[in-house]
Chain A
Amino acid sequence: DIQMTQSPASLSASLGETVTIECRASEDIYNGLAWYQQKPGKSPQLLIYNANSLHTGVPSRFSGSGSGTQYSLKINSLQSEDVASYFCQQYYDYPYTFGAGTKLELK
């Protein structure tokens, strides 16, 4: 199975700050990576697919980058509504696997 190592596990940042969350795959996943945002009691919401494609309706302050085994999600100009947990998911190979998540809080 492909292991997804996500870091950091938690993150505290101020409004307007830029934050970066990273995911490392245990093998090359050829950009088969998505990022999701999940708020408490809600289902995950797709942010990014194919490592760097912004899903329809997602604010442009979210961006994804990376290749091979290293991927990152960047949030520019942090807003209060961005407080949530974030997960990466590889869909390059079965079984699909998720990172353990990053809990983003306001400082």
Chain B
Amino acid sequence: QIQLVQSGPELKKPGESVKISCKASGYTFTDYAMHWVKQAPGKGLKWMGWINTYTGKPTYADDFKGRFVFSLEASASTANLQISNLKNEDTATYFCARETGSSDWFAYWGQGTLVTVSS
């Protein structure tokens, strides 16, 4: 069965960096793009962008250009999200979500990774 398993919660200080992983299984990793979604505590969902898992090319929503980097370890069927120079407002749960192949509704989600930024 298709699974997306994310890395565990992180506690970081402002200015530090964090890397979140999303390991896929149950399908051919390079056949489907991976998207990232942010959810601040008690808030709604915000689409961050996506990465083409075949070419490695990332596309970022405007609010996530600069400090956010999507990357791949294709041999390990893993997508990564790295956030640098962390700010308090980066405190959130980050989800990876897989596209369906025909369009970008998300039938498969990771369990989410909580990143807490606090001094």
Footprint of B on A, CB under 8 Å? 32, 34, 36, 42-46, 49-50, 55, 87, 89, 91, 94-101
Contact = CB atoms under 8 A, between A and B. Distances in A.
Contacts of B49: 95
Interface residues of B, number: 20
B25 to A, nearest CB: 16
B11 to A, nearest CB: 18
Interface of B: 35, 44-47, 49, 59, 61-62, 95, 100, 103-107, 109-112
B72 to A, nearest CB: 20
Given A44-B109, A46-B106, A46-B107, A95 B45 contact: no
A43 B111 CA distance: 6
A46 B105 contact: yes
Contacts of A94: 59, 61
Contacts, number: 54
Contacts of A99: 44
A93 to B, nearest CB: 10
Nearest to A96: B47
B68 to A, nearest CB: 13
Contact of A98 (B47, B62, B107): B47
Given A46-B107, A89-B106, 6 more contacts: A34-B105, A43-B110, A44-B45, A91-B104, A95-B47, A95-B62
Contact of B105 (A91, A95, A97, A101): A91
Interface residues of A: mostly helix, strand, loop or mixed? loop
Contact of B109 (A43, A95, A100): A43
B104 A55 contact: no
A21 to B, nearest CB: 14
A20 B35 CA distance: 29
B112 A97 contact: no
Given A43-B110, A43-B111, A87 B61 contact: no
Nearest to A97: B47
Nearest to B6: A43
Nearest to A34: B105
